[in-house]
Amino acid sequence: MSSSESARIEVIPDRRTAGWDLLWSELSVLFRRRRTWAMLAAVALIPILLAIAVRLSTSTLAAGEGPPFLSRVTQNGLFVGFTSMVVAIPLFLPLTIGVVAGDTIAGEAGQGTLRYLLVAPAGRVRLLLVKYAGAAAFCLAAALILTVAGLLIGAALFPVGPVTLLSGDVISVPEALLRSLLVAAYVSLSLLGLSAIGLFISTLTDVPVGAMAATVVVSVVAQILDILPQLAWLHPWLFSHYWLGFADLLRQPLDWASFGTNAVVQLCYIVIFGALAYSRFATKNIQS
């Protein structure tokens, strides 16, 4: 075990690695946590509860009543996923993102592991990037799980067939599945701005619950601002403004416009709040 018999130890470091290990470690720690799976399970419950409620109810909905697409669910199970996305995106998904993104740095600080990661040394910038990547992976996982659960329960409880799009065109089942994945991609993209805000807030405190709550509050405030007509000038710049824009992905031909605009807005938030998180965290005194 003793590595050297000489009086002075010469530590020849292993070669510097690319450093991907920390990313895998982050993903494995995140997705091995029971809390993460509890949240993902709750996400999966949304389409399941929605489908069961629709199946059990005898009254038929008039078109346009309830959340968008709800009236179509009984005719085609593939709509369960879309409908539950609409239901989940204003509050439930931001809530889970708030938990994950708010926990990124503050959670490590709160339990004291931050100082050990930094003396390892993880590198502050690298740690921020890895933490953000973890939050982004959670966004993708949540959107995918919601989509997959929606497809499965939809197929189990309702007929499945070619899908009539908002534009009136009909697409085949495989193409509808592809569109479902596109919607999942759109929704995870939509949540990246909020994740960046959560990451920044998380660098401000050692109390993870505070950072989580603040992130959720930010998402609620953004949505309130988004419905005030007096602030119409601000609306295109709100990270939540395009959250429901995925309906454009259900037109024929595919309309990428809102996907693109959404990506630009999210990118702006990532750049701004990423920079804020960096400036805050790079020189922060780690006292936890």
Partner 1 sequence: MTVPAADFAIVTEGLTKRFGQQTAVNSIDLAVPSGSVFGFLGPNGSGKTTSIRMFLGLVQPTSGTVRVLGERMPDRLHTVLPRVGALVEGPAFYPYLSGIDNLRRYDSADRYASSRSRSARIDSALERVGLGNAAQKKVHAYSLGMKQRLGIANALLRPRELLVLDEPTNGLDPQGTREVRSLVGALAAEGTTVFVSSHLLSEVAQMCTHAAVMSAGNIVAQGTLAELRGVDTARVRVLTPDADLAVETLRHLGLAAERSHMDGTATWVLAPVRDEVAEPETIASALQSAGVRIRAFSVEEPSLEERFVALTGEGFDVVQ
Interface residue list for partner 1 (CB under 8 A): 1-4, 6-11, 13-19, 21-22, 24-25, 29, 32-34, 111-113, 115-123, 127, 283, 285-287
- Minimum distance, C-beta of residue 181 to partner 1, in the bound complex (Å): 31
Helix 34-56 and helix 124-157: axis angle, to 10°?
Answer: 30
Cα 281 from chain centroid (whole Å): 23
CA 19 – CA 25 distance, rounded (Å): 11
Looking at beta carbons only, is 53 or 120 nearer to partner 1?
Answer: 120
Looking at beta carbons only, is 10 or 56 nearer to partner 1?
Answer: 10
Looking at beta carbons only, is 24 or 237 nearer to partner 1?
Answer: 24
- Minimum distance, C-beta of residue 210 to partner 1, in the bound complex (Å): 19
Looking at beta carbons only, is 23 or 276 nearer to partner 1?
Answer: 23
- Minimum distance, C-beta of residue 279 to partner 1, in the bound complex (Å): 14
CA 176 – CA 251 distance, rounded (Å): 11
- Minimum distance, C-beta of residue 215 to partner 1, in the bound complex (Å): 22
Looking at beta carbons only, is 42 or 286 nearer to partner 1?
Answer: 286
Rg (CA), the chain: 22
Looking at beta carbons only, is 205 or 258 nearer to partner 1?
Answer: 205
Residue from 165, 191, 177, 161 nearest 81 by CA: 177
- Minimum distance, C-beta of residue 43 to partner 1, in the bound complex (Å): 20
Give residue for tokens 């050692």. Answer: 206
Cα 155 from chain centroid (whole Å): 25
CA 63 – CA 147 distance, rounded (Å): 23
* Residue type at 20 in one-letter notation: W
Classify the phi-psi angles of 19: left when phi > 0, otherwise alpha if psi is within -120 to 50, otherwise beta. Answer: left
Burial class (CB in 10 A: 0-12, 13-18, 19+), 266: buried
* Residue type at 194 in one-letter notation: L
Residue 259 is encoded by which pair of tokens?
């996907």
- Minimum distance, C-beta of residue 110 to partner 1, in the bound complex (Å): 10
Looking at beta carbons only, is 32 or 232 nearer to partner 1?
Answer: 32
Coil, helix or strand at residue 171: strand
* Residue type at 90 in one-letter notation: P
- Minimum distance, C-beta of residue 42 to partner 1, in the bound complex (Å): 19
